[in-house]
Amino acid sequence: MVQIAAVGGYGEVGRNCTAFKVGDDVVLVDLGLHLDHYIKFTEDEEEEVHDVSPKLLAAVGAIPDLSSIKDWDKQIRAVILSHAHLDHIGAVPFLASHFEHVPIYGSAFTIEVLKELLKDKDIDAELDLRVVAPHKRVRVGKQLEFEFYPVTHSTPDTMLVVLHTPEGDIVYANDFKLDNHPTLGKPVEIKPLEALKTNVLAVVCECLNANEATKTPSESIAREMLHEVLLETKTTKKAIFVTTFSSHIARLQSILEVAKALDRKPVFLGRSLAKYIYAAKDAGIVDLTKQAEVIKYGAHVKKFLRHLDRPYRYVFITTGHQGEPKAVLSKIIDEHLFKFEPEDIVVFSCHTIPVPTIEANRKHLEEKLRKLHLRVYTDVHVSGHASREDLREFLDILRPKYVVPSHGDPVMTKAYVGLAKEQGYSNDHIFAMTEGDRITLPAGNRQ
């Protein structure tokens, strides 16, 4: 018997966590933050966030509430992490004491990032962190094995998690895109996925872009967008600031390419950027420190900017793309760390995460930038998530018996359910779960 429990990330965007029970063995896939709730809560708190109890963070919806699977607690054999984004691994430091005797599996980059997060939070728990290579089967129970299948996304080393059970395979696809022309790493290999087709019991699939009636553009398009914005417009004697997701190593590499073409020195500013850059280096993916200066700590950033000569000789890559008040870009504005001139350039190589607190922060930051008469470019970006036609193709490749939409609000979930019905799935084979729900496969009866 196979059971699936929706612990977090169902009917919402963030704090992804799904529990799978096969016989007497349970595995958790992902342990993520809800970024909106987390940011709102930590800004309201005077104390350091690592002093806040997991129970309190769960109560405000910032991390998954494991009490919903309390009856499975003693049967948890492993935590499996699909990739390095905070909405998939960010809760691990806060729940570390819960998993001191449970192995935590991930790709090389994901584990390196997790190590940095644990260091940041000063976590001294002795966690059993294990790096797993793609296509290596790992036994995590009497009747349960898992395997990583590499997939493209907006951070390196992202994996589909394939659970091999006696009832069939379960494919956890949360998050991914089908990029045929990535700028870092290889395209998605379709043939290994097609080989699973005859034995896929269920797919647990993200639905963030299920309403977008298109195919998600390749990361190579984002690189061209950056080139167009910065190489085909007048930038002479103008300061250039670019901000993007710190974990988006491919995008950071493209920004360095632009800096080189402009004959400017690239400088990374901020702790989050440093964290992911060094993780990529330690994981053997790419060493961006050979191409750029990295200034990690706030005091060093302030000193560097205040003693800066001829800023038009640099490209500054900063944290703060979502308007976070404590990030470098916001501090540069609020604390007057840099003397902007009219028509200096700020590029947001990202979309705004669609949750209220983040949208408000970002809007507020953009208003401040425009009051300084800067040239502000937004949405110089392509998504790392599969759109409707990618999701359709993915279902066609795997043809699972059951479909479970995840990682999306009710509107996104409804759109994915509609897509599954277009592909021939009946209501009996589609499970739109919400937090706390459980289903049993293959019968698929709600508990």
pLDDT of residue 43: 64
The residue from 328, 353, 377 where one domain ends is 377
Same domain, 355 and 369: yes
pLDDT tens digits for range 345-404: 999 999 988 778 888 999 999 999 999 999 999 999 999 999 999 999 999 999 999 999
Same domain, 205 and 227: no
Same domain, 77 and 198: yes
Lowest mean pLDDT among 32-36, 124-128, 141-145, 403-407: 124-128
Yes or no: say if 41 and 70 are a contact pair by the CB < 8 Å rule: no
Question: 48 or 87: whose pLDDT is higher?
Answer: 87
Same domain, 179 and 258: no
pLDDT of residue 44: 47
Element of type H or E holding 78 = strand 76-80
Output the six-digit token pair for 95: 């729940």
Same domain, 226 and 282: yes
Same domain, 191 and 263: no
Same domain, 270 and 336: yes
pLDDT tens digits for range 267-321: 999 999 999 999 999 999 999 999 999 999 889 999 999 889 899 999 999 999 9
Q: pLDDT confidence of 47, banded at 50, 70, 90?
A: very low
Residue 95 main-chain phi, psi, to 5 deg:
-110, 15
Same domain, 316 and 422: no
Q: Is the pLDDT of residue 51 over 60?
A: no
Q: Is the pLDDT of residue 145 over 80?
A: yes
Q: In sequence order, what are the beta bridge partners of 283?
A: none
Same domain, 269 and 197: no
pLDDT of residue 35: 83
CATH number at residue 56: 3.60.15.10
Same domain, 234 and 368: yes
The residue from 377, 404, 438 where one domain ends is 377
Provide the percentage of residues in the chain whose pLDDT is more than 70. 97
pLDDT of residue 444: 42
Yes or no: say if 315 and 264 are a contact pair by the CB < 8 Å rule: yes
Work out the number of other CB atoms within 10 angstroms of the CB of residue 287: 12
Q: pLDDT confidence of 1, banded at 50, 70, 90?
A: confident
The residue from 377, 394, 426 where one domain ends is 377
The C-alpha torsion from 260 through 262 and 265 to 269, rounded to 10°, is -100
Same domain, 178 and 284: no
Q: Is the pLDDT of residue 55 over 80?
A: yes
Output b/e per residue, 13-29; b: 16+ Cβ within 10 A: bbbbbbbbbbeebbbbb
Same domain, 441 and 305: no
Q: Is the pLDDT of residue 132 over 80?
A: yes
pLDDT tens digits for range 206-251: 999 999 999 999 999 999 999 999 999 899 999 999 999 999 999 9
Q: In sequence order, what are the beta bridge partners of 295?
A: 269
Lowest mean pLDDT among 41-50, 89-98, 157-166, 325-334: 41-50
CATH number at residue 300: 3.40.50.10710
> What is the SS3 assignment for 285?
coil
pLDDT of residue 124: 66
Output b/e per residue, 326-364; b: 16+ Cβ within 10 A: ebbbbbbbeeebbebeeebbbbbbbbbbebebbeebbee
Yes or no: say if 316 and 308 are a contact pair by the CB < 8 Å rule: no
Q: Is the pLDDT of residue 45 over 50?
A: no
* Arithmetic mean of pLDDT, 44-68: 75
Return mean pLDDT, the chain: 92
Domain encompassing residue 432 = 2-215+384-446
Output the six-digit token pair for 179: 């990029």
Measure the CA–CA gap between 60 and 386, rounded to whole angstroms: 29
Number of domains in the chain: 2
pLDDT of residue 37: 86
Angle, nearest 10°, between helix axes 410-422 and 388-398? Answer: 50
